[in-house]
Amino acid sequence: MGRSIRVRQECIIKVKQALRRNGFARQKDLAEELKLSKNTVNSFLNGTAIDYVNFTEICQKLSIEWQDIADLSDETTEPNEPNSDTPQQTVSVNTTVTFNNENVETNLGDKPNLSTEGYTTKPAASTPATDKKVALHEAIPAVPVWKGRDNLLNNLKAKLLQPENPPKVLALIGQGGIGKTSLAVKLLEALGVNLSSRTVTTDCPYQCAMYFKADVGTSFDEVADFLLIDGLDFKTSEPLKTADEKIAKIIAGLTETRCLLVLDNLESVLQKACQPQPGRAISQDWGKLINALVYQQHQSQIILTSREVSADLGDPRSKKSRINSKLVYIERLTGVDTKAGIEILQAYNFQDKLENLEWISERVKGHLLVLTLLASEYAEQPGYLRKRPELVTDEAEPILREQLERQSEAARDLLRRMCVLRVGIDVRGLTFLRLYTDDLEKDYRFEMAAEMEEPAELTEEEISETEAILERLVDSSLVQRRYNEEKCELFYDLHRVIVEFLQAEYKDELPSLLESVYKFYCTGKSVENPKTLEDLLPVLEAQYFAFQLGNYNEASSLVMWTLEEYLRRWGYWNLLKDLYERILPHVDEDDRPHCLRQIGRVYRDIGNWNLADKYFQDALSIEQEKDNKYGIANSLGCLGDIERNRGNWEEAERLYRQCLEVETELGDRSGMASSWGVLGNIERNRGNWEEAQRLYRQCLEVETELGDRSGMATSWGQLGYIEQCRGNWEEAQRLYRQCLEVQTELGDRAGMASSWGVLGDIERNRGNWEEAERLYRQCLELRTELGDRSGMASSWASLGYIEQCRGNWEEAERLYRQCLEVETELGDRSGMASSWGLLGDIERNRGNWEEAERLYRQCLEVKTELGDRSGMASSWGVLGYIEQCRGNWEEAQRLYRQCLEVETELGDRSGMAISIGCLGEIEMLRGNLDAAEPLIKDAMTQLQKLGQTAKVAESYYDLARLERKRNNTELAQQHYNTAHQIFQQLGAVKDLERIEREWHTDTQD
């Protein structure tokens, strides 16, 4: 028998504030303190019933009397009810819900005793379907009061479900605040979308329901990505490049799956009446999407809400772009009738005579927002509005003006200062804005704080005054608030209608308002050790407001010297690219090449090497015109990176040597060292270990002279990789640990993560999978802390390989797909190709040759598009292995030779040796032992020269198998013993187990 209890709804804010007051910055901290699960603490803070013992224990820790906040009316005792912290069996269904934003709390949702009468349309049967889906771009607004529109709701439902010629698009058009979104929400419920449980009922006619709310500045890519990824579960082998491609895939998805899509607040993406094409989408791509939803073939339906009709709903074949009324049904929404208006006022406990309520409802013509605002403001003042009829008008503006006039001057001033904010802000930030002045004689604190980039010193009294003002504004529906569970803090912003009104009201003051907000965000620019994008929010906002103020030097400086480091490290490449592209037209000539190179680096990192090449070439041209030697060298190095990625090692070497020549001319020894390092990479890729080692040591020598310890660590890592390739794992490990030691001293956490990763590779090669896994997880943990999404993907791939080696192919596949998902989000096409190759390995191991071949060819296609010749060669090699497994010797031989040809062109000696060995194995399998022997020996000779000891052992093992086929038992055993001895010296436990098992099995056979 278990007893459960919950926090009363009106006390939720109180307990969340108590969390912070008692020194718990996060829910996780309280959970760890009490040794409870985070889920239990989260349930407590959000009013969900938990075990009585846990409830009282949390209250005691937060210094709250549990009886003061407990909802005793809902206290339950259930048989076999599990303790909140007891593991319990759960049932999983396929219904999916996607959230991108947090819930928004306003006073409108806190009104007690709201009437539920008048609900004549109920949601469909409550049994959820397990094969259907709900995808929400953000939390759907609650509908606290629903009156007067049941008939309309039923009619629109019937219109959508009519058996013959149902409309593709239902457009709900009306004034702001008239109730368009509420009607759309109720339609979703009436059609079988259960919003309380976030499920779709079994008798719902749609397989998927999606809700997307547009806002000012919402890009086409944002809505397209939501529809494709979150809604339609679209998966692609590579990112879609154009809007037309995305629209085609959206329409294809809406054709394959019957969906109900709500596009809310559409006017946000439409041009205003004063603009060149009123009613058209601001973005041409948005317009194409809207038009395609109407005039292209699919089986889904769309509900639009907007203050105005979109011109893009018109038929493009019509001269005047007339809307096809058979495809688009427009419902022009007006206010509710007088009776419903009265019921709404009464639901909000409006204390007045019935005749006065009737007068108010008629006066505002049933406008829902106006009714709500009136109820919020004058509910306890009977007769007041009847005596002041000017307050009750046809439009919301007079209501807002009256509301503002009823606020204190301090409250009105705070609203004025808030109206340019883009994101929510806490009470300390609003206190800064409320008190801000640029007059140093009046108060120097704020200008000084902005200059010092430190928070302003505020008194508790000043903060309390701000809290009191905010409480009044929230109660008046002028400010909305939300609770950030991670920060345990309330954040405040304005309703959109209020923002629009205030910005129009204070349009002449906008520059000074922007300046004050910019100064506030300047106080948070010095971010120490940020870990998330939210930690960088002050810098992002400071950059935005600096740009809006025309302070382009500051805007560009914040991008180049602060945001660049973290956004690139964390993999927010598109955001970084957008910031650079926005400032590019405004930077001076000295900074322009730098911006071009940084944009190019983003395209390079996501695998768009052709576009990256263009930006690097543009930067080089400018640097050459200015004869800026340092810039020339930098640009040449970037161009060399592109050719190296493509596998064009000769061209890469030429560019790197050109870069080195300029650096030598300048006496830039640090740059010279870097160039020797990348030239070493070229030789390493070619398999020229000695030359690569010489260049790395040359680089290390200069870095040592310069005292560049970070560079020295990198060079030790590179030298370690050479030894790893040679099979000298002890020496490789020593160098990697030397590298790790310096990185640890320097606090280079990203470098430390990389070192743990390569140390994991050593243990993996030895067959010590447990130790390898430990190191990989250590690497993953740190990369996760750093927000290094690209690095996290690499770690998942490494862990996947461990599971593959163990034969746990399902777990390996899961990890590889987890890696692929992040690479797809990042647009890392090169990484995606590699992941398809790894997934191909899994299918190959399972014996699914067709699926393996498909994945390998998918990999090859992208490698070919990228011009990655080394990657292409590898793909031909694994495709050859597939044909070898099928017994198609000729096709396998053709692919191995195709691989060998490219490796020969590239000078990849290691790859060439391996391909020659594969060709030898083909001949051995065919029974052509005399043809196989020289190929295997040739491969072994090359591998011995390269110092690749582990692969030499494999060659000896191949020769042992060959001699056994000739019945040369003594010579076969000699070769086997040599292979066994080498693997034993290397500590390659798993390789030893493999050859021992195979050798003795063949002997018994």
pLDDT digits (tens, 9 = 90+) for 629-651: 999 999 999 999 998 888 788 89
Tokens 């969900």 map to which residue? Answer: 48
Q: How confident is the model over 47-63, as a mean pLDDT? A: 85
pLDDT digits (tens, 9 = 90+) for 278-290: 778 999 999 999 9
What local confidence, expressed as pLDDT, does residue 704 receive? 94
What local confidence, expressed as pLDDT, does residue 414 receive? 94
**Highest mean pLDDT pick, 110-114, 223-227, 385-389, 524-528:** 223-227
pLDDT digits (tens, 9 = 90+) for 713-737: 999 999 999 998 888 889 999 999 9
- What's the whole-number average pLDDT of the chain? 84
Q: How far apart are CA 799 and CA 812, in angstroms?
A: 7
pLDDT digits (tens, 9 = 90+) for 451-495: 888 888 889 999 999 998 887 677 555 787 888 887 789 999 886
Tokens 């928070």 map to which residue? Answer: 455
What local confidence, expressed as pLDDT, does residue 780 receive? 94
Q: Which of 149-153, 784-788, 928-932 has the lowest mean pLDDT?
A: 784-788
Q: How far apart are CA 612 and CA 603, in angstroms?
A: 5
SS3 readout for 196-231: CCCEEECCCCCCEEEEEECCCCCCHHHHHHHHHHHH
What is residue 304's three-state secondary structure?
A: strand
Q: How far apart are CA 128 and CA 203, in angstroms?
A: 9
Tokens 């010590």 map to which residue? Answer: 768
- Dihedral of CA 229/231/233/234: which sign? negative
| DSSP H or E run through 957 | helix 949-965
Q: How far apart are CA 24 and CA 92, in angstroms?
A: 33
Tell me which of 987 and 961 has the higher pLDDT. 961
Query: In the numeric block, which tokens belong to residue 103?
Result: 């819930």
**Highest mean pLDDT pick, 71-85, 522-536, 807-821:** 807-821
What local confidence, expressed as pLDDT, does residue 966 receive? 92
Judge whether residue 334 has pLDDT over 80.
no
pLDDT band per the 50, 70, 90 thresholds, residue 686: confident
Q: How confident is the model over 370-376, as a mean pLDDT? A: 77
Q: How far apart are CA 895 and CA 889, in angstroms?
A: 10
* Burial of residue 508, with CB atoms counted within 10 A of its CB: 0-12 exposed, 13-18 middle, 19 or more buried: exposed
DSSP codes of every residue in 674-697: HHHHHHHHHHHHHT-HHHHHHHHH
Q: Are strands 193-194 and 2-5 parallel, antiparallel or unpaired?
A: unpaired
pLDDT digits (tens, 9 = 90+) for 209-260: 999 999 888 889 899 989 998 888 888 777 888 999 999 999 999 999 999 9
DSSP codes of every residue in 709-757: HHHHHHHHHHHHHHHHHHT-HHHHHHHHHHHHHHHHHHT-HHHHHHHHH
Instruction: Using alpha carbons only, give the angle 888, 890, 896 rounded to the nearest 5 degrees.
Output: 100
Q: How far apart are CA 382 and CA 362, in angstroms?
A: 17
What local confidence, expressed as pLDDT, does residue 1003 receive? 57
Judge whether residue 868 has pLDDT over 60.
yes
pLDDT digits (tens, 9 = 90+) for 892-924: 999 999 999 988 888 888 889 999 999 999 999
Measured CA to CA in angstroms, residue 4 lies from 9, 19, 28, 35, 60 at distances of: 16, 21, 22, 19, 17
Query: In the numeric block, which tokens belong to residue 379?
Result: 């509910």
Task: Give Rg (Cα) of the chain.
Answer: 34
pLDDT band per the 50, 70, 90 thresholds, residue 85: very low
The number of beta carbons lying within 10 Å of the beta carbon of residue 412 is 18
CA 349 to chain centre: 44
What local confidence, expressed as pLDDT, does residue 984 receive? 87
What local confidence, expressed as pLDDT, does residue 152 receive? 93
Judge whether residue 79 has pLDDT over 60.
no
DSSP codes of every residue in 528-587: -S--STGGGHHHHHHHHHHHHTT-HHHHHHHIIIIIHHHHHHHT-HHHHHHHHHHHGGGS
What local confidence, expressed as pLDDT, does residue 297 receive? 93
Judge whether residue 837 has pLDDT over 90.
yes
What local confidence, expressed as pLDDT, does residue 129 receive? 61
Q: How far apart are CA 576 and CA 789, in angstroms?
A: 15
Report all structural domains of the chain as residue ranges with CATH numbers, in order of start. Answer: 2-78 (1.10.260), 111-332 (3.40.50.300), 338-405 (no CATH), 411-524 (1.10.10)
Q: How confident is the model over 92-104, as a mean pLDDT? A: 34
Tokens 């290390």 map to which residue? Answer: 700
What local confidence, expressed as pLDDT, does residue 964 receive? 92
The answer for residues whose C-beta is within 8 angstroms of residue 354's C-beta and 6 or more apart is 342
Q: How far apart are CA 904 and CA 909, in angstroms?
A: 7
Instruction: Using alpha carbons only, give the angle 312, 318, 319 rounded to the nearest 5 degrees.
Output: 100
Which among 996, 985, 1000 has a CA at the least distance from the CA of 766? 985
Q: Are strands 76-78 and 208-213 parallel, antiparallel or unpaired?
A: unpaired
pLDDT digits (tens, 9 = 90+) for 171-196: 998 767 788 999 999 999 999 988 76
Q: What are phi and psi of 488, to 5 degrees?
A: 55, 50
| DSSP H or E run through 841 | helix 829-846
What local confidence, expressed as pLDDT, does residue 82 receive? 35
The answer for residues whose C-beta is within 8 angstroms of residue 473's C-beta and 6 or more apart is 407, 411, 414, 415, 479
Q: What are phi and psi of 136, to 5 degrees?
A: -115, 125
Tokens 């889920």 map to which residue? Answer: 39
What is residue 260's three-state secondary structure?
A: strand
